[in-house]
Amino acid sequence: MTTTSTHEDPAVGDGPATGGRVPFFPPDLFHEDRDALLRLLYEIGTGADQKFILGDRTRRFEDALRDRLGAADVVACSSGTSALHLILTALGIGPGDEVVVPALGCAPLAAAVLHTGAVPVFGDVDPRTLTLDPEDARARITPRTKALMPAHMFSVMADMPRFAALAAAEGLRLVEDSAVAQGAVLDGTPAGLWGDAGLYSFVQVKSFGMPGEGGAVVTRDEETGRRVRMLRNHGQDGVHRGLHHVIGVNSRFDEIQAAFQLHRLPGLDARLERRARIAAHYTERLAGLPGLTTPPPGTDGRCYYVYTLLADDRDALRDHLDAEGVDTHVYYPATLPDQAAFAPVAAASSVRTGADPAGPDWPHARDAARRQLSLPVHHRLTDAQVEHVADTVRAHALRTRA
Ligand SMILES: *Cc1c(COP(=O)(O)O)cnc(C)c1O
């Protein structure tokens, strides 16, 4: 693998104790930062002001992300899921409204909409990018549709130029679920800044993960930022304590985590770069193999949160990798409309939009749910581990198709 050697690059893994396996998630994620974490825990825990939430460190973290992005506002909050809920509420989405979301993706895409009282309408994904298909989304727009909510999936950003044009043409809000895409840029615009608002998740497994729960709303619109800020802390304005202007929630951010994220922010680009290089190497070694589809290559609009293949014999490939010591992950074994939690809502919205709920709806999402398999791509992998993963996938594909 033609990348920086492990000796020159402190961001690269140096062979943690993994029992010889290649772990899907790094077991030593905060290896370089353990001392800083302990120092900050002590400093903040024993600080004279005893300020543990929404203090100076949270503000500085928000400012640092805002400046890095060129956003109007960044509001740190308790999770990516909560960020989605805050955005939808701040945009005034509620009972009687519909929001078009992808049929393949994480539960909060549907649940956050339902928690506002609005209804998610599921659109199929593009078979190549696995993100919401703009044409399919357009076909699901009704007079009740209030917003489009595409999500960036695995390593690929949704087709935001087309969604921005569609939202503008139809007079709809555009919410960008950029939870996994921090650091990605499409056509010069960073992930998170394409619509009315976007978000990042800082839960451990995401690319700017931390040792706990957290997220952030990002927006180009000051007024949306102001509303999200109020909603985050029980509808207060941050100046007059005890005055509640709107019905909010507790989605506050932790000072220790803010300080730790500030400490880790300067290393983020190098870690993302390492992930991108590993992904490019996988694609180089795996593209064109029989029975396998690699993710669309390139760097524009790409975020190497995970590296996801489509494999015709997914379960056999997964077993083979497991036997060779490689941990993998199947993110969404069923589409959202096929989940017990959302099936009734999906059936009802299919009827309203004229689609047949028993018919061949969401064929690409369902196909991807059967075939997707994610390989380890995190920055702590050694070059040898990356090569072992690629060799193992190649051997399986060539053997079974010989
Ligand atoms: C992880 C994720 C979320 C939710 O973030 P949490 O911090 O886990 O609540 C939302 N959307 C997408 C696409 C995600 O991957």
Determine whether 45 is exposed, middle or buried from the number of CB atoms within 10 Å of its CB (0-12, 13-18, 19+): exposed
Give the pLDDT score at 165.
98
State the average pLDDT over residues 6-21. Answer: 52
Q: Confirm whether 3 is domain-assigned.
A: no
Nearest-atom index, ligand 1, CA of 82: 9
Place of tokens 């004279």: 48
CA of residue 333 relative to chain centroid, distance: 17
Where does a domain end: 265, 292, 315? 265
Mean predicted lDDT score pLDDT of the chain: 93
**Domain that includes residue 390, residue range:** 267-400
pLDDT of 245 > 50? The answer is: yes
Q: What band does 358 get if pLDDT is binned at 50, 70 and 90?
A: low
Q: What is the mean pLDDT of residues 360-370?
A: 93
| 249 and 304 housed in the same domain | no
* Residue 317, pLDDT above cutoff 60: yes
Q: What is the rounded average pLDDT of the residues 117-126?
A: 97
**257-291: burial string, b at 16+ Cβ within 10 Å, e else:** bbbbbbebeeebeebbbbbbbbbbbbbebbeebeb
The share of the chain scoring above pLDDT 90, in percent, equals 87
Average pLDDT over residues 324-329: 98
Atom 5 in ligand 1: which residue has the minimum CA distance? 80
Say what the pLDDT of residue 348 is. Answer: 82
244 plus 320 within the same structural domain: no
Same domain, 232 and 328: no
Cα–Cα distance for residue pair 148/161, rounded to 1 Å: 13
The reply to whether 261 and 273 lie within a common domain is no
Q: Is 79 in the pocket of ligand 1 (CB under 6 A)?
A: yes
212 shares a domain with 64: yes
pLDDT of residue 323: 97
pTM: predicted TM-score of the whole model, two decimal places: 0.94
Q: How many whole angstroms separate alpha carbon 50 and alpha carbon 319?
A: 51
* Mean pLDDT confidence for 114-138: 97
Which of 236-240, 286-290, 318-322 is predicted least confidently? 236-240
Pocket residue to mutate for ligand 1, from 25, 88, 113, 203, most atoms within 8 A of Cβ? 203
Question: Within this chain, do residues 258 and 332 fall inside the same structural domain, yes or no?
Answer: no
Q: What is the CATH number of the domain that holds 354?
A: 3.90.1150.10
Report, as an integer, the average pLDDT of 350-367: 74
Q: Is the CB of 80 under 6 A from ligand 1?
A: yes
pLDDT at 357: 52
Residue 31 lies in a domain: no
pLDDT the model gives residue 10:
40
Cβ within 8 Å of residue 258, ≥6 positions away: 55, 57, 58, 60, 61, 76
Rg (CA), the chain: 21
Q: Is residue 114 part of a domain?
A: yes
Residues 202 and 286 in one domain: no
CB 33 within 8 A of CB 260: yes
Q: Are residues 198 and 241 in the same domain?
A: yes
Domains of the chain: total = 2
Domain end call among 199, 230, 265: 265
pLDDT attached to residue 400: 78
CA distance 331 to 109: 14
In the chain, % of residues over pLDDT 70: 92
Output the domain CATH number for residue 45.
Answer: 3.40.640.10
Give tens-digit pLDDT for 372-402: 999 999 999 999 999 999 999 999 999 976 5
Best of 88, 182, 201 for a ligand 1 pocket test (most atoms within 8 Å of beta carbon): 201
Q: How far does the centroid of ligand 1 lie from the alpha carbon of residue 26, in Å?
A: 19
Q: Domain end: 265, 282, 301, which one?
A: 265
Does 286 lie in the same domain as 211? no
* Shared domain check, 345 and 245: no
Task: Specify the pairing of strand 173-176 against strand 145-148.
Answer: parallel
Residue 92 alpha carbon to ligand 1 centre in Å: 21
| pLDDT above 80 (res 13) | no
Torsion angle defined by CA atoms of residues 139, 142, 146 and 148, in that order, rounded to the nearest 10 degrees: -10
Distance CA 171, CA 91 (A): 13
List Cβ neighbours of 19 (8 Å cut-off, separation of 6 or more).
none
Per-residue model confidence as pLDDT tens digits over 16-70 = 456 689 999 988 889 899 999 999 999 999 999 999 999 999 999 999 999 999 9
Mean pLDDT value across residues 104-131 = 98
- 162-209 confidence digits (pLDDT tens): 999 999 999 999 999 999 999 999 999 999 999 999 999 999 999 999
Residues 169 and 307 in one domain: no
Known active-site residue 206: yes
